[in-house]
Amino acid sequence: MALVSVPCVLLLLAGVVINECVALKSTPPAAKTKGQPWPMPSVYTTTGDTMLVTSSAFKFAAGDKTCDILQDAFDRYFGYIFYSGRRHLKSDSLRFVARKAGQPMLTTLRVDVTTECDRLYPSIDMDESYDLKVLGDQSTLTAVSVWGALRGLETFSQLVYEDSDDQEAMAFNKMNVFHWHIVDDQSFPYQSLTYPELSNKGAYDPYTHIYSPGDVREIIEFARKRGIRVVPEFDSPGHTQSWGNGQPNLLTKCYTDQTPNGKFGPIDPTVSTTYSFLKGFIRELTEVFPDKYLHLGGDEVSFSCWKSNPNITTFMELHQFDKNYAKLEEYYMQNLLNIVSSYNNGYVVWQEVVDNGVKVAQDTVVQVWKGHQEAELAKVTQAGFRSILSSCWYLNDISFGADWRKYYTCDPQHFNGSLAQKNLVIGGEFCMWGEFVDGTNVIPRSWPRGSAIAERLWSSADLRDPHIVTPRLEEHRCRMIRRGLNAEPVNGPGVCKYEYHPGL
């Protein structure tokens, strides 16, 4: 029997020295909280009393409306609460204190969802609010949508902790969008049914290093059951070298002194075959990915190859673009956006698209990623566009020490603008690019540094002092380790009993 405790709560969402040995000043271990949620809900109240929760007696109970998402979540969160993701720490090997005389038990959490939830996919407009009351036999979790219920279940799992020192429950970080930058210059791993040669000739290996249709469906379904949107990015017209391997005449031929030099640049925006290909490819993407939005990229387009190509020069003259190659980029992007809109899909673009003056629909979401983010956010929102921020949250860029603090203090709504403008900043995104990251290090490099960003985006702007929240982050890191994730230390010396065991 696994025996754990939960606090009674009411909450609502939402100089360089060479060949020298330097003795470092002794630093005490970082403190940890017990049973405190991350990210912090918008309203959180606790009495300080505790109840016991045992694996043999506790259950989740659905209200009048239930579905596969909710039932799957019940099974998942029961495991998160009572079992460790570490192989050496199953429930029958954990040590717990005996139940105290007269201490109340929590046997049921009733989960009520007020709207139907069968076969839903998360969307940009989903309601993720919830009301969680843990008050003995009257414990309830109420949400308008199943997505709010998922966020509330995550919070509940964080409140439960093992009734002995340094043993915590597991949790997520309530991130709700997976922006999947699925292809780039180096490789085209997405296996298209309409254009199979894209991956056959563009992937590192057409058999082992691809995402098959089945893989994509599995990822989308895995995300759906956790309330996570999957927004794929097919970045163009730059970052497309791998596309040209399987799609002839798509890329621009580069010239040296009026002679092709064997190199290729961005997609050629001057030929009709480009747009015939894009129309068929975008149609497939809208059928495969259920989210309303596609990320179309549009960043870092080099003009040098376009400038070298005499056919491009002639096209520029015919369209009276003079020598303004941003106009050519605008021409391409406008055609691409029109194609996407024809399938009733919305789109996300990198900030260069708007910076270069491309006319985009008013429901376009603009991702701000360069420096001078405050000025850029002010400009984008002044034009009436919704925006997401990633400039200050590039987790693939590592530095020594507790660098999570700088991520925690970056406020996406800190810029000169009206309240209406600030409300157009609908969220943010941490980026983990793959030049020096793969499956061996993506988890420790992402977590719990990414947790700091999750709380900044979910919780009150009044939570600004990293020192105050450090103990809660320590607990949260230990939760993730218990779940089986190799979350790295971020606050200096400390201890989590799940950090290491021979054979892991």
pLDDT digits (tens, 9 = 90+) for 240-298: 999 999 999 999 999 998 899 999 999 999 999 999 999 999 999 999 999 999 999 99
Do 463 and 413 meet the contact criterion of CB atoms below 8 Å apart?
Answer: no
pLDDT > 80? residue 315: yes
Mean pLDDT score, 439-461: 93
C-alpha 67/C-alpha 73 separation (Å) is: 10
Say how far apart CA 112 and CA 127 lie, in whole Å. 14
Secondary structure of residue 79 in the 3-state scheme: helix
Distance of CA 20 to the CA centre of its chain: 42
Q: What CATH architecture is 1-14+30-173+467-504? A: 2-Layer Sandwich (3.30)
Residue 25's pLDDT band, with cuts at 50, 70 and 90, is very low
Q: Identify the pLDDT of residue 85.
A: 63
> What pLDDT sits at residue 98?
32
The pLDDT-based confidence of 449 (bands split at 50, 70, 90) is very high
Q: What single-letter DSSP state applies at residue 57?
A: T
The rounded Cα 387 to chain-centroid distance in angstroms is 15
Return the amino acid letter for 311: N
- Which residue is it, tokens 């400038």? 307
What gap in Å lies between CA 223 and CA 232, rounded to an integer?
Answer: 13
Residue 83 pLDDT greater than 80, yes or no: no
Catalytic center residues: 300
Return the structure tokens found at 472: 């809660």
CATH number of this structure's domain 178-466: 3.20.20.80
Residue 91 pLDDT: 41
Report in angstroms the alpha-carbon separations of 58 from 3, 81, 110, 137, 284: 10, 11, 11, 11, 45
| Structure confidence by residue, pLDDT tens digits, 103-159 | 678 889 999 999 999 888 999 999 999 999 988 777 899 999 999 999 999 999 988
- Which segments of 236-391 does DSSP mark as H helices, in order? 243-246, 272-288, 304-308, 310-318, 325-342, 351-355, 373-382
Per-residue pLDDT, 23:
32
Q: How many other CB atoms sit within 10 Å of the CB of residue 477?
A: 27
At 498, the pLDDT band (50, 70, 90 cuts) reads confident
- Over residues 388-421, the pLDDT tens digits come to 999 999 999 988 899 999 999 999 999 999 999 9
What pLDDT, on a 0 to 100 scale, did the predictor assign at position 3? 42
Instruction: Show me where the domains of the chain are located.
Output: 1-14+30-173+467-504, 178-466
The predicted pLDDT at position 174 comes to 87
Note the pLDDT tens digit of each residue in 368-391: 999 899 999 999 999 999 999 999
Q: For residue 202, which of 185, 180, 215, 217 has the smallest C-alpha distance?
A: 185
pLDDT reported for residue 97: 31
Q: CB count, 10 Å around CB of 28?
A: 8
Rounded CA gap, 49 and 352, in Å? 53
- The structure's pTM equals 0.85
Q: Is residue 240 within 8 Å of 251, Cβ to Cβ?
A: yes
